[in-house]
């Protein structure tokens, strides 16, 4: 069961890293989730899609840990990535940050 739980975020991490590397090489500009208009996920249930957005935000945190929006996340900076796949705390924290980051675009 543990390997199933970590398989999806691990695959997402790999795909996201490959994507931002290609983007930055092609366009010679810094990539992060904030510049994305939309994402498309295949998921067997809705909660997995929500967790995936949190995971992308976590990956941005690893790349840009000194950004103001991550000031409350510094305790996660030194945790090895392999140990984060089953962490509910990390999942909840970064999903909360993601939801906060999209709030202005959802307001009327």
The string of pLDDT tens digits covering residues 1-47 is 445 556 789 999 999 999 999 999 999 999 999 899 888 888 777 88
Condensed to tens digits (0 to 9), the pLDDT of residues 56-84 reads 999 999 999 999 999 999 999 999 999 99
Could you give the C-alpha distances from 21 to 15, 31, 32, in angstroms and in order?
10, 8, 11
More confident residue, 91 or 49: 91
For the chain, how are helix, strand and coil distributed in percent, rounded to 5?
Answer: 70, 0, 30
- The pTM for the full model equals 0.86
Answer whether 51's CB lies under 8 Å from 84's CB. Answer: no
Per-residue tokens: 54: 């949190």
Answer whether 56's CB lies under 8 Å from 39's CB. Answer: yes
- Say which residues have a Cβ less than 8 Å from residue 40's Cβ, sequence separation at least 6: none
């Amino acid at each position: 069961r543990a390997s199933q739980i970590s398989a999806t975020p691990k695959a997402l991490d790999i795909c996201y890293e490959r994507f931002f590397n290609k983007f930055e090489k092609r366009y010679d500009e810094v990539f992060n989730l904030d510049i994305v208009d939309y994402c498309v996920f295949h998921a067997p249930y809705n909660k997995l899609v929500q967790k995936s957005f949190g995971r992308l935000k976590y990956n941005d945190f690893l790349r840009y840990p000194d950004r103001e929006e991550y000031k409350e996340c510094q305790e996660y900076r030194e945790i090895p990535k392999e140990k984060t796949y089953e962490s509910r705390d990390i999942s909840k924290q970064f999903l909360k940050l993601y939801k906060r980051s999209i709030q202005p675009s959802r307001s009327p």
